[in-house]
Structure 1
């Protein structure tokens, strides 16, 4: 009985901690100067482009309730994450301007840091195979994140051929990290974890478009968690929260 009460207290504390950490993000600015980042400045930045074909629709604009619509719905709720690497918590509402608290895991470490969706796209562009309908959004890292940069998720349909792609476009670099052990760990493992995240995100979204998307529901604290249906997560030995701005 005492063990059950202890577990309930820990679960309630975890929920409260996430809600408070997410609320704190509204006061945090983007942690880099976009004028000194790609495409204007490329030295010192990782630049990534990962693409997978999801399938095909009939040529022309995306079909109602078709492949593009399903994939775009998965993007909107961030439901294609691999929870062994990354999970997200956010308040339901408009996509543009949404703050998201990311929970990254590595070994027994749990890192909490924030990002903000700063751009949304739904337009026709000129692509390598002609006009394409592109739907997606981008987030930028906030003060306290271990990285600096911008990540974009896109669903693109080639209007002439009907080919549908999922694309991850990103530029990133390590943010200043005061703790020498964390800094060393990021140098040794950060890039490898990042590339593994890209691969698994591509694979998981490709598998997820085969089933209808169920809109996620907020939990008892009012937060949506992605992937949907998961609790606050397993207890780690150490949780490392983002530092206060200016530290």
Structure 2
């Protein structure tokens, strides 16, 4: 059984400083995944919600991906979490961390409220087989997250047609909430925001594939806040 941990903090109207985020990100190393079911049992029949999307990002010439083409740009946008709409879910992570096993803080934003939750990249897929190249990762939610489950983000190129696809597949259920009203609010508004996020994610990645983000992941020694609408964060915690 996954070990229980206290829910992550929440705030209204403002986020967290660089120092606060780094402290909480370091804590993720000690937090386990918050579910025990094997993937084959995380189905609708067993009480899990299964959703996602499958979209075309465009075309390249036939054959393996180009060095600086749509696939390569989309791959960078995927691993840097640039496909996530930061007005809904913003990711914070150490840009120096190896993608395999990388911990991330997800900052969920709903009607001015902000909720933090931890996740970990537990599976990394990169392969070329006959007729297809694929890259992607799966992250699992950690103890204290308001959701339980995992999510796959997978990029593929069909060598025969040159078409590039982006697929999201999530298996989840409700997790740990800081209070009763946030759980109720998620039940009412959660699917609306998830649907909006899923619609925007492939559109953002499609844009990045055509116009790659050339900005560095972060300032030296700082966490990555890709897509952050206010990237200049103070180094000291804000007073409550």
Residue 34 of structure 2 corresponds to residue 25 of structure 1 = no
Separation (CA, whole Å) in 1 of partners of 2:59 and 2:68:
13
CA 1:230/1:96 → structure 2, altered by over 3 Å: closer, same or farther?
A: farther
Separation (CA, whole Å) in 1 of partners of 2:177 and 2:195:
20
Task: Tell me what 2:64 maps to.
Answer: 61
Task: Tell me what 1:162 maps to.
Answer: 162
Alpha-carbon distance, 1:212 to partner: 2.7
Separation (CA, whole Å) in 2 of partners of 1:165 and 1:222:
32
Task: Tell me what 2:41 maps to.
Answer: 40
Higher RCO (C-alpha 8 Å, min separation 6)? 2
CA 1:99/1:14 → structure 2, altered by over 3 Å: closer, same or farther?
A: same
Task: Tell me what 1:4 maps to.
Answer: none
Contact 1:134 1:155 in 2 (8 A): yes
SS in 1 for 2:225: strand
Contact 2:72 2:209 in 1 (8 A): no
Task: Tell me what 1:148 maps to.
Answer: 148
RMSD: 2.3
Contact 1:14 1:232 in 2 (8 A): no
Alpha-carbon distance, 1:230 to partner: 3.7
Unaligned runs of 5+ residues in structure 2 are: 1-13, 234-240
CA 1:175/1:15 → structure 2, altered by over 3 Å: closer, same or farther?
A: same
Query: How high is the TM-score relative to the length of structure 1?
Result: 0.80
Query: How high is the TM-score relative to the length of structure 2?
Result: 0.83
SS in 2 for 1:168: strand
Query: Which segment drifts farther, 39-48 or 82-91?
Result: 39-48
Task: Tell me what 2:103 maps to.
Answer: 99
SS in 2 for 1:193: helix
Separation (CA, whole Å) in 2 of partners of 1:109 and 1:221:
28
Residue 139 of structure 2 corresponds to residue 139 of structure 1 = yes
Separation (CA, whole Å) in 2 of partners of 1:132 and 1:108:
42
> For 1:132-182, what per-residue CA distance to the aligned partner results, in whole angstroms no more than 9, with x for missing partners?
211111100000100011111111111211111111111111114462212
Contact 1:148 1:173 in 2 (8 A): yes
Matched residue pairs, number? 217
CA 1:118/1:141 → structure 2, altered by over 3 Å: closer, same or farther?
A: same
CA 1:213/1:140 → structure 2, altered by over 3 Å: closer, same or farther?
A: same
SS in 1 for 2:202: helix
Residue 73 of structure 2 corresponds to residue 73 of structure 1 = no
Deviation >3 Å, runs of 4+: none
- Greater CA radius of gyration, 1 or 2? 1
Query: Which segment drifts farther, 168-177 or 137-146?
Result: 168-177
Alpha-carbon distance, 1:195 to partner: 1.5
Unaligned runs of 5+ residues in structure 1 are: 1-10, 234-247
CA 1:228/1:112 → structure 2, altered by over 3 Å: closer, same or farther?
A: closer
Residue 119 of structure 2 corresponds to residue 115 of structure 1 = yes
